Structure 1
Amino acid sequence: MTDVPEPDISPELFAVLAADPLAAQLGITLEQVSPGYARATMTVGPAHLNAAGTAHGGATMALLDVVHAAVSNSHGTLAVAQDVHTEFLAPGRPGDLLTAVGTEVHRSARTAVYRIEATAGDGRLVATALARVFRLGTPWALPGDDEVVAMGAPPPVPPTMQISAVETPLPTPGPGTNPSGPTPAPDELQ
């Protein structure tokens, strides 16, 4: 007997979960959501880099968190994060397409636990997270529902708050600014 995959969630719930302004600013694309499963991608670009020239932990964590939000709300019940424990395992490199997949580990009426993993296109496991949510017991009110919307899509981000790519290189620190010596190239950070 073969396992039959769960069907994707309703297009209305997917649209609400995919309408995340921070995800849009960071170039994170929510690709698939089904009950207990979510997947999103982000290409590491100049605006995602830290001072060492690799993917900033905050950008990687944002990718994991977008997936966490989608998978934890995939059953149509409003869920809010309580805890996310993240392990950074390998650097995301400029140009890497990071794919994060979240799966449900445990779900009860009020809490749920999810594992989220981000991998690079070459198979490197970049980060992993174990995340817990509190399930409010409130169904998502979606566009077209007759009831009052409990939680809708957030308003669009004003253009003045949008992240733009760095157009000029950051200044190189002079001598004496790093007591431990020069910063290693991103390839040496493994």
Structure 2
Amino acid sequence: MTDVPEPDISPELFAALAADPLAAQLGIHLEQVAPGYARATMTVGPAHLNAVGTAHGGATMALLDVVHAAVSNSHGTLAVAQDVHTEFLAPGRPGDVLTAVGTEVHRSTRTAVYRIEATSADGRLVATALARVFRLGTPWALEEDVVAMGAPPPVPPTMQLSVVEQPPPSPGEGTNPAGPTPAPDELR
């Protein structure tokens, strides 16, 4: 499609798309949504890092997915993800501000394809995704009171997750069939 997005979507639709609890928890900020276009940012902080000290692929993918959800729903028709193929190209570093931009590649009445790219402030291409959605043909039902509160629409009871509390395993249980791991000097 075009490089210049159309005028932004309605404030009600933007508020509904921006009310993503996981995005809020990860510090992902939806900045702009226009038909066929979306942009969001995330600053790579300590909670976003993997064991080697770079941005965790899951955190980077969450940024791409938030943009995917926004761009694919930007026409006001409910869309659900069918496939997201992601390539991680460079590590996000602690302190990096990653910006993800999603643009529409193709849209029909039932499916659509989007390209989403995440770059760092210094211009490194960190990750790219090609994503496909199924368009349900149902317009977004925007409840004014939900939008005014900035909260996501209520989840139907059949879709709610419940927390199952289980006691944590005792040290050594379930981790080594031979019992607790011996102290390092016992291994010699």
**What range is the shorter-chain TM-score in?**
0.7 to 0.9
| 2:69 equivalent in structure 1 | 69
Residues 97 and 16 from structure 1, CA distance in 2 versus in 1: closer, same or farther, beyond 3 angstroms?
same
Deviation at 1:134, TM superposition (A): 0.1
Report the TM-score when normalising by structure 1. Answer: 0.75
Greater Rg over alpha carbons, structure: 2
Query: In 1, distance between residues paired with 2:124 and 2:99?
Result: 11
Does residue 40 (structure 1) correspond to residue 53 (structure 2)? The answer is no
Contact 2:5 2:36 in 1 (8 A): no
Does residue 19 (structure 1) correspond to residue 7 (structure 2)? The answer is no
Contact 2:5 2:37 in 1 (8 A): no
| 2:99 equivalent in structure 1 | 99
Gaps of 5+ in 2: 146-151, 156-183
Query: In 2, distance between residues paired with 1:35 and 1:22?
Result: 23
Residue 64 of structure 2: SS of its match in structure 1?
helix
The sequence identity of aligned pairs, in percent, is 91
Residues 100 and 154 from structure 1, CA distance in 2 versus in 1: closer, same or farther, beyond 3 angstroms?
farther
| 1:109 equivalent in structure 2 | 109
The amino acid that maps onto 1:83 is D
Residues 154 and 92 from structure 1, CA distance in 2 versus in 1: closer, same or farther, beyond 3 angstroms?
farther
Deviation at 1:153, TM superposition (A): 2.8
Deviation at 1:4, TM superposition (A): 6.8
- Residue deviations 1:29-83 (CA, integer Å, cap 9, x gap): 0000000000000000000000000000000000000000000000000000000
Gaps of 5+ in 1: 146-151, 156-175, 177-190
Alignment length, in residue pairs?
Answer: 148
The amino acid that maps onto 1:40 is A
The amino acid that maps onto 1:68 is H
- Residue deviations 1:127-156 (CA, integer Å, cap 9, x gap): 0000000000000011249xxxxxx5357x
Counterparts of 1:53-92 in structure 2, within 5 Å, are 53-92=53-92
Query: In 1, distance between residues paired with 2:15 and 2:94?
Result: 29
The amino acid that maps onto 2:14 is F
The amino acid that maps onto 1:36 is G
RMSD: 1.8
Contact 1:115 1:130 in 2 (8 A): yes
Structure 1 runs, 4 residues or longer, greater than 4 Å off: none
